[in-house]
Chain A
């Protein structure tokens, strides 16, 4: 509906593992942001990519890393998973300063 698609929809991992989440931006959007939303909280900004360069980062440790590709799709990688990483991970894309539009999210559970 919004044009932003994320995969997978759900994922279960164990502590210490690594995970890669994927996002396809809405057509024409050049900026992608990733957010973490814990239960009962608002989304927390992880980082943002513009034309394949990271141009903003929230208060997340280096084990959270990302990439943006020439087609503006993006990945979020998380290493050494911890129980507190269990959350809904949201990708949002936009064109320049227009409002962000979110994908459906990936629900990550850490056991």
Chain B
């Protein structure tokens, strides 16, 4: 079993849709949780950290469930510019990434 697993993609959604990604992790001692966004042939860029209390940044909401060992990312009112690969990352001293989920938002 992989340390970090993400929903298989791609997710093809129309503009304005709400889309949710889940990510599960196996190491219960993990301390830090993040969502990164990666555009084609570019580096990952930090989208948001994920906190136990949940956190929101505009149209993006991230949640952490330590008991079930998963994190989620909700994107509301999807824009064409949201099309990218979304990577979850989990860790303490080192980050372990999932394989990523491709999101395609279409007009």
**Which residues of A are at the interface with B, using a C-beta cutoff of 8 A?**
2, 33, 35, 40-45, 48, 55-56, 58, 90, 92, 97, 99-105, 107
Residue count of chain B within 8 Å CB distance of chain A: 20
Of B46, B93, B97, the residue contacting A43 (CB under 8 A) is B97
Given the known A-B contacts A42-B87, A99-B34, A99-B49, are A104 and B43 also in contact in the complex, defined by CB atoms under 8 Å? Answer: yes
CA A44 to CA B89, docked complex, whole Å:
11
Given the known A-B contacts A42-B87, A42-B99, A97-B32, are A102 and B94 also in contact in the complex, defined by CB atoms under 8 Å? Answer: no
Of A56, A58, A102, the residue contacting B43 (CB under 8 A) is A102
Q: Establish whether residues A102 and B45, one from each chain, have CB atoms under 8 Å apart when the complex forms.
A: yes
Query: Which residue of A is nearest B93, CB measured?
Result: A56
Point out the residues of chain B lying under 8 angstroms from A44, CB to CB.
97
Q: Establish whether residues B32 and A43, one from each chain, have CB atoms under 8 Å apart when the complex forms.
A: no
Q: Establish whether residues A58 and B94, one from each chain, have CB atoms under 8 Å apart when the complex forms.
A: yes
Point out the residues of chain A lying under 8 angstroms from B43, CB to CB.
2, 90, 102-105
Q: Does B42 contact A (CB under 8 A)?
A: yes
Q: Which residues in chain B, 1-45, are within 8 Å of chain A measured between CB atoms? A: 4, 32, 34, 41-45
Q: Establish whether residues A90 and B44, one from each chain, have CB atoms under 8 Å apart when the complex forms.
A: yes
Q: Establish whether residues A43 and B44, one from each chain, have CB atoms under 8 Å apart when the complex forms.
A: yes
Query: Which residue of A is nearest B48, CB measured?
Result: A99
Q: Establish whether residues B94 and A99, one from each chain, have CB atoms under 8 Å apart when the complex forms.
A: no
Q: Establish whether residues A33 and B46, one from each chain, have CB atoms under 8 Å apart when the complex forms.
A: no
Query: Which residue of A is nearest B100, CB measured?
Result: A42
Point out the residues of chain B lying under 8 angstroms from A48, CB to CB.
93-94
- Name, among B44, B49, B87, B98, the residue most crowded by chain A CB atoms within 10 Å (CB to CB): B44
Given the known A-B contacts A40-B99, A42-B99, A42-B100, are A101 and B46 also in contact in the complex, defined by CB atoms under 8 Å? Answer: yes
CA A99 to CA B34, docked complex, whole Å:
8
- Name, among A2, A45, A101, the residue most crowded by chain B CB atoms within 10 Å (CB to CB): A45
CA A107 to CA B40, docked complex, whole Å:
13
Q: Establish whether residues A45 and B96, one from each chain, have CB atoms under 8 Å apart when the complex forms.
A: yes
Q: Does B80 contact A (CB under 8 A)?
A: no
CA A107 to CA B89, docked complex, whole Å:
22
